[in-house]
Amino acid sequence: MFEAKPKAKRLGWAVVGCGWVARDYVIPALQGASNARLVALCDANAEALMRIPADDVNRYTALGSVLADKDVQAVYIATPNHLHAAMTEACAAAGKHVLCEKPMAVTPREGLRMVSACQRAGVHYATAFDQRHHAAHRKLRTLVKEGVLGTITQARIHYACWLPEDWTPDNWRIDPEQAGGGAMIDLAPHGLDLLEVILGDEWESLTAMTQRRVHCYAVDDGAVLMGQFKSGALGLLQVAYNCPDAYPRRTLELIGTRARALAYKTMGQTPGGSLSLIDAKTGEETWVPLSPEEDRSPFLQQVEVFSTCVLEGRPQPFAPERDVRLVGLLTQATQAGKAFPPCH
């Protein structure tokens, strides 16, 4: 006789905001995760809510109903940026753990409020920096740690897209009130986080220049950010809403004294892409293989890591105060009061 295996523990999740990122990446990840269970969906737009294919989930149009649902232990917040802070505070007050999309908040003050609310309530908080969970980026972290690249002198990221005005019916990304900014606040948080994680370093300084070059939006349509890490390495991020999608625009390059690493098409929401190294002495390029077992959805990896920490009562890999520091860094790098030239 076989003994019945004890049922694996699964964390009960709700997703709040069932738009692009939730529909295409977060919800499939929660449905496929070994230690998570999707129990509820919430969107203020009933049509968006009903469009999500999912069986046996509760569907709500208001956050209050999610908070009253006893099966919900953790909430993935995927609403427009200006709602992150108040929603996190409400979830924490109801005893729900929170994994919140980037940017964590629009101001560091909001970020601090989120962290204290979660600490007061004794719930876990993490910002959804999915890209640090990509297999190529995890491999890069190991290579840097093992010294394969030698001393890292410079790091460069180009992460950009073309964002037309009618990208979504309600394109909140170009509304400063809802987004808190433009291409810079939307796209730069990934690179700011990722380079710290891969280099095992911390930004010491950051300056930025923004532009409104192509799209006549009330927010920037491109930015270049430049800074220095505590180690002395320099970092450069190029982000944009004005970069044609046909160009190579998802690249991460690390220059080291022993090797140069290039991750191509690894930034973004999906697994895949490539990772190569050029040897400093021979100039020879080698490709770093990523096995299919390693190269899973970064969102799947992310929800499994978060759920494991909650279920096992372990702290999340990064303290939330660090995420507030990154929001602060981005805010101070923004050119306060900068007026864009008139649209032509």
Find the shortest distance in angstroms from Cβ 152 to ligand NAD: 25
Give the x/- contact pattern for ligand NAD in 53-72, rule: CB under 6 A. ----------x---------
Does 28 interact with ligand NAD (rule: CB under 6 A)? no
> Residue 75: helix, strand or coil by DSSP?
strand
Does 21 interact with ligand NAD (rule: CB under 6 A)? yes
Burial of 342 (C-beta count, 10 Å sphere; 0-12/13-18/19+): exposed
Q: Which is nearer to ligand NAD, 256 or 268 (CB)?
A: 268
* 222 DSSP β-pair partners: 211, 240
Q: What's the sign of the alpha-carbon dihedral 245, 188, 141, 150? A: positive
Does 270 interact with ligand NAD (rule: CB under 6 A)? no
Whole-angstrom CA distances from 157 to 46, 103, 154 are 38, 18, 10
- Stretches 10-18, 132-140, 222-230, 317-325: which one binds ligand NAD (CB under 6 A)? 10-18
Pick out residues in 140-169 that bind ligand NAD (CB under 6 A): 168
Pick out residues in 278-337 that bind ligand NAD (CB under 6 A): none
**Which residues, including other chains, have CB under 8 Å from residue 95's CB and lie 6 or more apart?**
121, 123
**Nearest 5°: phi and psi at 332?**
-75, -20
Q: Which residue carries 């919800």 as its tokens?
A: 27
Residue 243, number of CB atoms within 10 A of its CB: 21
Find the shortest distance in angstroms from Cβ 257 to ligand NAD: 32
78, 101 contact by CB (below 8 A):
yes
> Which of 73, 81, 127, 297 forms a contact with ligand NAD (CB under 6 A)?
81
Pick out residues in 89-128 that bind ligand NAD (CB under 6 A): 101-102, 128
Does 78 interact with ligand NAD (rule: CB under 6 A)? yes
Does 130 interact with ligand NAD (rule: CB under 6 A)? yes
Whole-angstrom CA distances from 28 to 76, 97, 272, 297 are 13, 20, 17, 9
Q: Give the footprint of ligand NAD on this chain (CB under 6 A).
A: 16-22, 42-45, 48, 63, 78-81, 83, 101-102, 128, 130, 168, 172, 186, 269
